[in-house]
Amino acid sequence: MTLFIFLENSTYNFLRNFSTFYICRDPQYKELQRCIFCNEAEFRRFRQLLVNVVIATDIFDADMKDLRNKRWEKAFQQQDLSLTREDEFNLKGTIVLEYIMQASDVAHTMQHWHVYTKWNERLFEETYSAYISGRGEKDPSEGWYKGELWFFDNYIIPLAKKLKECRVFGAASDECLNYAISNRTEWEAKGEDIVKRFVGRVKGQGKQERK
């Protein structure tokens, strides 16, 4: 069912290109494939994991988000007596891999303030450039400040809490959560002025390029 939902989303093209190297099982990659899976059952399991972790990067799909949350509750917050020990292990492993994939996509938000603002500015520049060139519909500066607060409250901090709960990163999980909360607090205090600086630098770069 998950795969059929996934096929209807725009990320399908990304998966198709991303997975060609592995899933098509090109003979020229036999040695690599033997390192990843040694039989058909392991191949199917690998393929399932690959699909799940790529779907996990589509964080704004409400249906998939709800599905992941339910699976998280089933794996870590509820005792499901119908699951065998192996099924429970596989479920937890899949969920953890999905959240690691998500965390890697937004890792800058859970690091030092200077790391966060550095990559946040680069994302802003990319988004603003798309807007100026006609590839983006909305001026990102209009909602960037509040958007970051929403992102911390509804995605980053809950994600960091899940990483801490499953203890996959050990003591580093606490660090991720602490940085996320700290960055959120500092952005709330300084973010509006920072966005103004972002806009000023982007416009300054645009003037230099036109000369």
Could you report the per-residue pLDDT of 130-147, keeping only the tens digit for each?
999 999 889 999 999 999
CA distance 149 to 195: 13
Q: Which two tokens stand for residue 12?
A: 């399908």
Write down the pLDDT at residue 14: 53
Q: Which two tokens stand for residue 119?
A: 């990559």
Write down the pLDDT at residue 23: 55
Kindly report the pTM of this predicted structure: 0.75
CA distance 185 to 115: 15
CA distance 209 to 96: 45
CA distance 163 to 158: 9
Write down the pLDDT at residue 4: 41
Could you report the per-residue pLDDT of 91-128, keeping only the tens digit for each?
888 888 888 888 888 999 999 999 999 999 999 999 99
- The count of C-alpha atoms lying within 13 angstroms of the C-alpha of 78, restricted to the half-sphere facing its C-beta, is 12
Residue length of the chain = 211
Other C-beta atoms closer than 10 Å to the C-beta of 157 total: 19
Q: What angle do CA 195, 203, 108 make, to 5 degrees?
A: 40
The ranges of the chain with pLDDT < 50 are 1-8, 10, 13, 17, 208, 210-211
